[in-house]
Structure 1
């Protein structure tokens, strides 16, 4: 998330309603997980401003995040947990979608470079070119699993945005990529930091978070992006109390984004507030049953998964198993990551309940469901060594 003009939702909503501006409407759709509508608005923006690189970047971003969402890769347990950055599950995209993404990126890059050929200090062109590198790096990492290419693109984008802040020290938006890059590189094992194109970038997780905090407070285009990034990193670092105010703001500004409400439930769960966590899930259930925008078509299995997971961690095994079993009945309706995690959890609960035969059967179903997923690999280990939890 390295480029979007991140107007506050209230402002974006007013602009969209009053002016019909495709940028404002596209951003409102984007942050509310309505990626098809966002894509349509950004394509309209391209028709209105064909020579500007920014709209092409926004189109690429909408395409990218639609695929991440479709694959279940936006759920925070998958994108911001404690697993290594180098072990993220692969996102599947069709050749047609991949072509659409790269066509948009290449167009943004060519338009930005044409401006830089005329004026190397054009900060807007430097910014757009850096953003395009960042987006391409995300795709290389999450879709192609080409982590070297991803780090190379991210580093090139960071250099371009460094140049923006050299020319304009008050440009907080360009610091977003700097903060993310510092955090990611700071999280890498020492061996990877010795790669040639990373020389000179030692990385620093704490500094990266401080930079993002600055963007979240003082940024213009990337203020919301920085808030979302911080939310993910606070979760990764178990800094849930810092996440609370951000969640309140994001839920208020983007009421159709159910992921923020799921994150609220996970925050309460992590802080030991079981009843508040379940209450947050019940609110999502209420919104779905009332047909609220953004919730009416939310699959019941996604809600049950959140509830069952909370019950699992609080050792309410029978209730958790009952809900995971309900999900299993329609597991093919879920993305692969959530589906395989559901099956693995069923196996783990049976192991905890000393029901080894049922546990092994569930692990085998998890492995067959998504053989390359991390949860499938973990399930293979439980075939020979039963899952055990430490006493609370």
Structure 2
């Protein structure tokens, strides 16, 4: 039975997290394509691993804007990102351990967080599908569908270790992201999903990549890192996520100068983040401050 790199998930979602945050701030655009102060604050909390504060912010915005799918996506992302963090997935210890990187976590994920995650995911998809009925190319709906599929793929593969089930979600995320980018090439955050998928699949053995190729799933490590770079430089809500993914990929590729640059930037932007501080300390052989140890 084929085991698809579970991280190919976390990477796709929160996760994928994997769609688009456009630079053009048109008043007709939804929250995914403009700077919304409340959401920006929520993501800042998320990247500092202040999960209750992030979730409270997202839930408040979601309640006020039930028809915008991005609010539901943000709530789902808060649950998934927290679980990935608690399980130590977004670290060099995980990325540099091939057994864990390609198979997934030990044990089971937290049941409560997973219930919250799947509930928010359902709301996001329902909202997106309602918009799709009126416009099949609706960028906000495609953004939400990309992230929803990417995040579910992450959860299935890396947390629940249902690797074959995650393949369907990977393909859905890829298809939605492609449609989104064709309509909105400025949607830089969409490159996160594609970049993660390309990089992780590119890390698989030749036999597994050959099997996936027949299923319509391809992989290229170099291309994946180039795509992550686009999101890391031009993304909006997912820019920090793209940076940590690119930094961890750089660690695997022994590109320590690139990893050091990205981790230093993340550490400076989010000084209260135990994740970024710990990863920067590990790379630079510095002690991890006691107050931020995970």
Q: Shorter-chain TM-score: which interval?
A: 0.7 to 0.9
Q: Which residue of 1 aligns with 2:38?
A: 22
Aligned residue among 144, 154, 158 for 1:138: 154
Candidates 275, 281, 289, aligned match of 2:287: 281
Is structure 2 residue 188 aligned with structure 1 residue 185? no
- Which consecutive residues of structure 1, in runs of 5 or more, have no partner in the other structure? 8-19, 269-276, 289-294, 303-392
Residues 200, 6 of structure 1: alpha-carbon distance in 2 compared, 3 angstrom cutoff? closer
- 3-state DSSP class of the match of 2:44? helix
Of Structure 1 and Structure 2, the greater helix share is in 1
Q: 1:239 to 1:170 in 2, by over 3 A?
A: same
CA 1:222–1:75 in structure 2 vs 1: closer, same or farther (change >3 Å)?
closer
1:31 aligns with 2:47: yes
Deviant stretches of 4+, over 4 Å: 3-7, 194-198
SS at match of 1:42: helix
Describe the superposition over 1:114-135 as per-residue Cα deviations: whole angstroms up to 9, x where unpaired: 1112111111211111110000
Indicate the structure (1 or 2) with the bigger Cα radius of gyration.
1
User: Matched residues in 2 for 1:266 and 1:255: separation?
Assistant: 16
| Segment of structure 1 superposing worse, 183-192 or 121-130 | 183-192
Task: Confirm or deny that 1:42 pairs with 2:48.
Answer: no
Query: Where do 1:98-117 residues align within 5 Å?
Result: 98-117=114-133
Assess, with a 3 A threshold, how the Cα gap between structure 1 residues 189 and 232 changes in structure 2: closer, same or farther.
same
Number of equivalenced pairs:
266
Task: Summarize the alignment of residues 298-377 of structure 1 with structure 2, pairs less than 5 Å apart.
Answer: 298=293
- Higher RCO, 1 or 2 (CA under 8 Å, sep at least 6)? 2
Confirm or deny that 1:227 pairs with 2:250: no
Distance change >3 Å, CA 218–CA 96, structure 1 → 2: closer
Contact 1:68 1:91 in 2 (8 A): no
Match for residue 71 of structure 1?
87
Could you tell me how far apart the structure 2 residues matched to 1:281 and 1:6 are?
A: 36
Residue by residue over 1:225-267, the C-alpha shift from the partner in whole angstroms, topping out at 9 and shown as x without a partner, is: 2111101101121211111111121111100112222212221
The counterpart of 1:125, out of the listed 131, 141, 160, is: 141
Does structure 1 retain, via aligned residues, the 8 Å contact 2:195–2:224?
Answer: yes
2:180 corresponds to 1:164:
yes
Deviation digits for residues 101-120 of structure 1, max 9, x if unmatched?
11111110111111112111
Q: Normalising by structure 2, what TM-score? A: 0.82
